[in-house]
């Protein structure tokens, strides 16, 4: 896989009188000794064999061993073209998706030229532990002149990658140029930096490595300039295109000094365009891709202007045609407006900025975060030495708080005088960036001048102050909070002004003051638990979330459920997480959103495979129960010895009521007292009990994942675990597609919806997994939607956790794959419930023994036409464009599915009423 890079490099080096060659083994098995040996020139003196694998415990990697054997046998047979055996060394490259660059190729040949070359080396990894790595010069560059080399820095979900793929198509078909594209991005669902590497040239491009020096660089998010030194990759005379809300006259002073220095020193050209404001004006939201693509074509001149515009619009029709004419026309308008708003900025002759590129994480971050996590955030993880990585692979939690992505153009601003203090804005926030606290007014004496507060409402909060505060650098600007806010500002006549208790404002002018306000807010003590009822929406939001600032999409419909789970049970929570979106934004490098309280307690989280996560979590349950049983056994053994004077404590621990948070905290205090009494006993039993004592506090064990797991690949496990009767909780976050892999159809996909593998609309109905599981009779089941009925969501989660047996929550989760405005996810959830697609209910088996109806219907009779719900989402609307006849047929069937679902629920409820 590295052959082209080697060939590209030695072609350049051989022009400088080097004598370097390459043999590419294309058929590894069966390995032909004769063919290999005959491919070697007679002048061969030394050979470096590169393997893209690691064989621990072997004498060498597979290809290396074959080459050594082949050369030896070739010499013995007399078929080798040389008389003296060449020196042969082996090495590894490209491990862990490491880049394999021309500089690394040169290092391999330089090593081969040494009198005693290093054998069994690695290249591309800084191995300072075993010392196997070859050092190389990262500045070594063989980029060809006459080739366009562009770097495009975009923000995940802004369309940059898609637009650049279209650019490759356009240039590849409209010109005689050869085209190449590589796209670099991390696993965040959206909102992270993407880098597109594009090459265009008149000769075939055989350079399968990232661009070292670019002649065109575009920055599609101005906040990147504060963190990334992207112009270090610019060659002299390169062009820089920046999207910014600043004008030609004031943009220079907003640039960090390093950026100004590059622009001056490298004699670059500088262009700006306010793509953000244009996209908002047109109605495209954050999708600035067409604006920036148009600017690229106009500035680069790769195509004549008219031809470029014609080609771009043709690709727009192909790409967005199935989403509706309105979207196509908005993108056309984006192209036209881009033409009128490209501005060239004259570059002064000296650096004037006082701003510098900021470190990737704050100065107060822990050393590991600064030295390791920070480098990965910057995209320099490949430079980390082996010694920097923890030996056992463990990674610290709560590190998203240091990332400060600073990607929101607008952030919510709280208006205390309008607020009714309902907590809904905090409840729906996908990234836990809106927090609320009630606290002693005395604490405001140290508050920043712009810190806002109001008198707390509620009899238990009387005499306290109340604040809702936004984390400005962590917010993604999705707007969900504003859309859910029920409190409207009114004028003197009582008319609505259009503003609410929380409103979106430009982030940049507010950033500095709001950072200070948020830091002060975090310094305030957590709200007194005795003054809040966490069984309410408002009460739950006074609890610090232990899942914060994740890499999920802006407006994500899954994360509010996880965040709420950590607010209700986070200090004793065990999560087995199925692979999918939730495992990626929940546990992937470089930062972790699961965090801990001030006392160090927080969720225990682990990721399992798609197909066995329910069983994996059940294993957690069995482990927790077994360790608790061992602790109780040891407690009894020591009751007459070490704990003879603490019999009351022992009995209180064994019989503790842990059904409430208060009861759990009281049990924790007892366990701490137990540890103090055990501390002087060095017996094996006492030491074991010290280790196991924490398991005497109730644990909450959950398996979570998406519908691809719960309905499809892991369904057998879900069924098995729920049928076990064990005290295990399962939550399926139902986006109705495989969201993580790009929106493929699952059994949760409703009839008529278009998805991958269902381009003509799904023909079969949605699997009714909640109804299926109620047929066991002893499984707690609830169908929830936090946006439609937040109180029911809180109640169902608490009931499921309290139920001494298996429980299943099926949670409606809006998703970008559904083709909706993600800022209006709450509205879509309400529509899904109102049309009967997602009837809310709870089935609680404990009520049967009390002679009560176990089914609670938590929504009204459907009143919204199903068509109105469906036509608000592109996944349904798309089929109306491509095949209206089939769409109508499926829509009617889907409408019937929703009606049948509601009628079935009513009949089951009525049946229990009769009993």
698-725 tens-digit pLDDT: 999 999 999 999 999 999 999 999 999 9
Q: What confidence score (pLDDT) does residue 639 get?
A: 92
**143: nearest Cα among 230, 233, 214, 229:** 214
> What confidence score (pLDDT) does residue 395 get?
87
Residue 670 lies in a domain: no
**Both 332 and 439 in a single domain?**
no
* Residue 661 vs residue 544, higher pLDDT: 544
According to the model, what pLDDT value does residue 316 have? 95
> What CATH number is associated with residue 302?
3.40.920.10
Same domain, 88 and 181: no
The three-state secondary structure class of 219 is strand
Are residues 169 and 108 both part of a single domain? no
3-state per-residue secondary structure call for 246-273: CCCCCCHHHCCHHHHHHHHHCCCEEEEE
Does a structural domain hold residue 730? Answer: no
**Other beta carbons within 10 Å of 140:** 16
pLDDT in tens, 195-244: 999 999 999 999 999 999 999 999 999 999 999 999 999 999 999 999 99
- Domain match, 155 and 118 both: no
> Dihedrals φ, ψ of 842, to 5°?
-130, 135
For residue 251, what pLDDT is reported?
A: 98
User: How many CB atoms are located within 10 Å of the residue 849 CB?
Assistant: 8
Residue 537 lies in a domain: yes
**How many separate domains does the chain show?**
4
CA distance 915 to 913: 5
In a domain, 181, yes or no: yes
Q: What is the CATH number of the domain that holds 880?
A: 3.40.50.970
The rounded distance, in Å, linking the Cα atoms of 574 and 562 is 12
Nearest Cα neighbor of 670 from 685, 659, 656 is 656
Do 294 and 425 lie in one domain? The reply is no
CA–CA dist 639, 641 (Å, integer): 6
What's the pLDDT at 37? 96
Rounded to 5°, the CA angle 820-823-416 comes to 160
**Rounded distance between C-alpha atoms, residue 321 and residue 302, angstroms:** 26
In a domain, 772, yes or no: yes
The band of 187, judged by pLDDT with boundaries at 50, 70 and 90, is: confident
Mean pLDDT for the stretch of residues 163-182: 96
Residues 176 and 90 placed together within one structural domain of the fold: no
101 shares its domain with 158 = no
- Do 873 and 740 fall within a single domain? yes
Per-residue pLDDT reduced to its tens digit, 93-149: 999 889 999 999 999 999 999 999 999 999 999 999 999 999 999 999 999 999 999
Q: Answer yes or no: is 380 within a domain.
A: no
Interatomic CA distance for residues 710 and 854, integer angstroms: 24
3-state secondary structure (DSSP) of residue 608 = coil
Same structural domain for residues 431 and 516? yes
Identify the domain boundary among 74, 90, 123: 123
Q: Is the pLDDT of residue 609 over 90?
A: no
The domain that contains 15 carries what CATH number? 3.40.50.920
Question: Quick check: is 721 in a domain?
Answer: no
Average pLDDT over residues 858-885: 97
* 111 and 168 fall within a common domain: no
Domain containing 38: what range? 3-123
Phi, psi of 806 (to 5 degrees): -75, 145
Average pLDDT, the chain: 96
The whole-number pLDDT of residue 821 equals 94
Q: Which of 512, 544, 576 is the last residue of a domain?
A: 544
**First vs last Cα of the chain: how many Å apart?**
69
Residue 473 lies in a domain: yes
Q: What's the chain's Rg over C-alpha atoms?
A: 31
pLDDT digits (tens, 9 = 90+) for 17-70: 999 999 999 999 999 999 999 999 999 999 999 999 999 999 999 999 999 999
509-536 residue pLDDT tens: 999 999 999 999 999 999 999 999 999 9
Q: What is the domain-level CATH number for residue 513? A: 3.30.70.20
Contact predicate 699/572, CB 8 Å: yes
Q: pLDDT digits over 308-325, tens only?
A: 999 999 999 999 998 899
Task: State the DSSP code for 786.
Answer: T
Q: What is the pTM of this model?
A: 0.95
Rounded distance between C-alpha atoms, residue 547 and residue 528, angstroms: 20
Same domain assignment for residues 313 and 420:
no
Q: Are 786 and 562 contacting, i.e. CB atoms less than 8 angstroms apart?
A: no
- Dihedral (CA of 701, 707, 710, 714) sign: negative
Among 123, 158, 181, where does a domain finish?
A: 123
Instruction: Check whether residue 323 and residue 178 sit in a common domain.
Output: yes
């Amino acid at each position: 896989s590295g052959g082209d890079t080697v060939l590209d490099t030695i072609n350049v080096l051989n022009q400088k009188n080097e004598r370097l060659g390459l043999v590419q083994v294309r058929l590894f098995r069966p390995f032909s000794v004769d063919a290999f040996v005959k491919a070697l020139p007679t002048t061969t003196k030394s050979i470096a064999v590169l393997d893209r694998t690691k064989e621990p415990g072997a004498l060498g990697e597979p290809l290396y061993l074959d080459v050594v054997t082949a050369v030896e046998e070739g010499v013995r047979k007399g078929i080798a073209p040389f008389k003296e055996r060449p020196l042969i060394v082996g090495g590894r490259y490209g491990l862990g998706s490491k880049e394999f660059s021309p500089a690394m190729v040169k290092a391999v040949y330089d090593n081969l030229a040494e009198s005693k070359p290093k054998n069994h080396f690695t290249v591309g990894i800084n191995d300072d532990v075993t010392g196997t790595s070859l050092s190389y010069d990262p500045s070594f560059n063989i980029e060809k002149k006459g080739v366009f080399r562009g770097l495009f820095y975009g923000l995940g979900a802004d369309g940059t990658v898609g637009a650049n793929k279209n650019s490759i198509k356009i240039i590849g078909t409209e010109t005689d140029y050869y085209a190449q594209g590589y796209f670099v991005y991390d696993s965040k669902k959206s909102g992270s930096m993407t880098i597109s590497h594009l090459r265009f040239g008149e000769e075939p491009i055989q350079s399968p490595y990232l661009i070292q020096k670019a002649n065109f660089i575009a920055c599609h998010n101005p906040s990147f300039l504060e963190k990334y030194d992207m112009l270090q990759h610019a060659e002299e005379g390169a062009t820089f295109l920046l999207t910014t809300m600043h004008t030609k006259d004031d943009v220079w002073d907003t640039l960090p000094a390093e950026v100004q220095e590059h622009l001056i020193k490298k004699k670059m050209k500088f262009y700006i365009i306010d793509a953000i404001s244009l996209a908002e004006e047109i109605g495209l939201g954050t999708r600035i891709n067409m604006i920036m693509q148009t600017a690229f074509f106009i500035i680069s001149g790769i195509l004549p202007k008219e031809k470029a515009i014609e080609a771009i619009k043709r690709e727009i029709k192909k790409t967005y045609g199935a989403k509706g004419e309105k979207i196509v026309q908005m993108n056309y308008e984006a192209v036209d407006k881009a033409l009128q708003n490209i501005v060239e900025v004259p570059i002064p002759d000296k650096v004037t900025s006082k701003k510098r590129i900021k470190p990737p994480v704050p100065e107060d971050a822990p050393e590991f975060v600064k030295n390791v996590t920070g480098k990965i955030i910057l995209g320099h993880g490949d430079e980390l030495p082996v010694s920097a990585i923890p030996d056992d692979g463990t990674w610290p939690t709560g590190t998203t708080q240091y990332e400060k992505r600073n990607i929101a153009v607008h952030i919510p601003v709280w208006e205390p005088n309008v607020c009714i203090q309902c907590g809904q804005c905090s409840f729906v926030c996908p990234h836990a960036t809106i927090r609320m606290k009630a606290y002693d007014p005395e604490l405001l004496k140290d508050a920043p001048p712009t810190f806002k507060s109001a008198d707390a409402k509620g009899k238990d909060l009387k005499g306290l102050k109340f604040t809702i505060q936004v984390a400005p650098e962590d917010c993604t600007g999705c707007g969900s909070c504003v859309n859910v806010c029920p409190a409207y500002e009114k004028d003197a006549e009582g008319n609505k002004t259009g503003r609410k208790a929380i409103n979106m404002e430009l982030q940049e002018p507010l950033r500095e003051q709001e950072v200070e306000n948020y830091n002060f807010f975090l310094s305030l003590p957590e709200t007194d638990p005795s003054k809040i009822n966490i069984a309410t929406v408002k009460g739950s939001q006074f609890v610090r979330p232990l899942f914060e600032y994740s890499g999920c999409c802006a407006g994500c419909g899954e994360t509010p459920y996880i965040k709420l789970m950590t607010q209700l049970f986070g200090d004793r929570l065990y999560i087995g997480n199925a692979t999918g979106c939730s495992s990626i934004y929940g546990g992937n490098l470089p930062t972790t959103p699961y965090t801990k309280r001030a006392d160090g307690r927080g969720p225990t989280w682990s990721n399992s495979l798609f197909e066995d996560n329910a069983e994996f979590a059940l294993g957690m349950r069995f482990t927790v129960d077994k360790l608790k049983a061992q602790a109780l056994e040891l407690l009894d053994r020591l009751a007459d010895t070490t704990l003879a004077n603490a019999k009351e404590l022992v009995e209180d621990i064994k019989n503790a009521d842990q059904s409430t948070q208060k009861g759990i905290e009281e049990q924790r205090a007892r366990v701490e007292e137990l540890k103090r009494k055990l501390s002087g006993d060095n017996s094996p039993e006492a030491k074991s009990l010290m280790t196991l004592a924490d398991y005497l506090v109730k644990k909450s064990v959950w398996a979570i994942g998406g519908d691809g797991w719960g309905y499809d690949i892991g369904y057998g496990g879900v069924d098995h675990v729920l049928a076990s009767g064990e005290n295990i909780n399962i939550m399926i976050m139902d986006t109705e597609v495989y969201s993580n892999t790009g929106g493929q159809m699952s059994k949760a996909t409703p009839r008529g919806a278009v998805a991958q593998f269902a381009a003509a609309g799904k023909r079969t109905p949605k699997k009714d997994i909640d109804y299926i599981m109620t047929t066991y009779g002893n499984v707690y089941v609830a169908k929830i939607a936090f946006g439609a009925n937040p109180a029911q969501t809180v109640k169902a989660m608490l009931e499921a956790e309290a139920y001494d047996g298996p429980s299943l929550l099926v949670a409606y989760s809006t998703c970008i794959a559904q083709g909706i405005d993600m800022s209006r996810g709450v509205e879509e959830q309400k529509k899904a419930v109102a049309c009967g697609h997602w009837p809310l209910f709870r089935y609680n088996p404990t009520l049967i023994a009390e002679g009560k109806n176990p089914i609670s219907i938590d929504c009204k009779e459907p009143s919204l036409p199903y068509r109105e719900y469906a036509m608000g989402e592109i996944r349904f609307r798309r089929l109306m464009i491509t095949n209206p006849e089939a769409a109508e047929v499926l829509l009617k069937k889907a409408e019937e599915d929703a009606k049948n679902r509601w009628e079935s629920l009513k009949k089951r409820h009525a049946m229990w009423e009769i009993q």
